[in-house]
Amino acid sequence: MRNIVFIILILFSTNAFADYKWKRIGKNVDGDVNYVDLLSIKRVGNNVFFFRLMDYIKPTEYGDLSSKIYFEVNCLDLSFRYIKDFYYQEPMGNGKYTVNDKIGEWKENIKDSLGEATREFVCNFK
């Protein structure tokens, strides 16, 4: 009986306590892959907050292979700002990381970009 309970707890914990549910949105012209965490999408009035993971095809000038950024998006005009940034030395948000917790300035939407597609996705997410 103890073994059955232990197995159930192991199986339950791997699914129930997952931190992220990444959905691939697409690739940019450099080949970097963009994901959105579906579990993090939160609407507050006309604004949406969410985590985006970018998996880089090659290391950045700082040696990072991925980043997770918590965004705020104004869904009326798709302007956005960074709330908190995490930069990782390994793909898919793994390994050692650095944090920038300074809230960024609002930036305008860039038409026909992967970022625009991402912001449209989260603003229309139900």
- Looking at the domain assignment, is residue 12 inside a domain? no
Residues ≥6 apart with Cβ < 8 Å to 104: 81, 82, 83
CATH of the domain at 69: 2.40.128.710
| Residue-range definition of the domain harbouring residue 44 | 19-124
Q: How far apart are CA 92 and CA 46, in angstroms?
A: 29
Around Cβ 21, how many Cβ atoms within 10 Å? 12
- Looking at the domain assignment, is residue 75 inside a domain? yes
Q: How far apart are CA 51 and CA 63, in angstroms?
A: 21
Q: Report pLDDT digits (tens) over 65-106.
A: 999 999 999 999 999 999 999 999 999 999 999 999 999 999
- Looking at the domain assignment, is residue 46 inside a domain? yes
- Looking at the domain assignment, is residue 10 inside a domain? no
- Looking at the domain assignment, is residue 89 inside a domain? yes
The rounded percent of the chain whose pLDDT value lies above 70 is 86
- What is the reported pLDDT for 19? 86
Structural domains counted in the chain: 1
pTM, whole model, 2 decimals? 0.82
Residue 78 CA: distances (Å) to CA of 22, 50, 81, 116, 120: 21, 13, 10, 7, 7
Residue 16 three-state SS: helix
- Looking at the domain assignment, is residue 3 inside a domain? no
- Looking at the domain assignment, is residue 94 inside a domain? yes
H-helix segments, the chain: 2-16, 114-124
- Looking at the domain assignment, is residue 102 inside a domain? yes
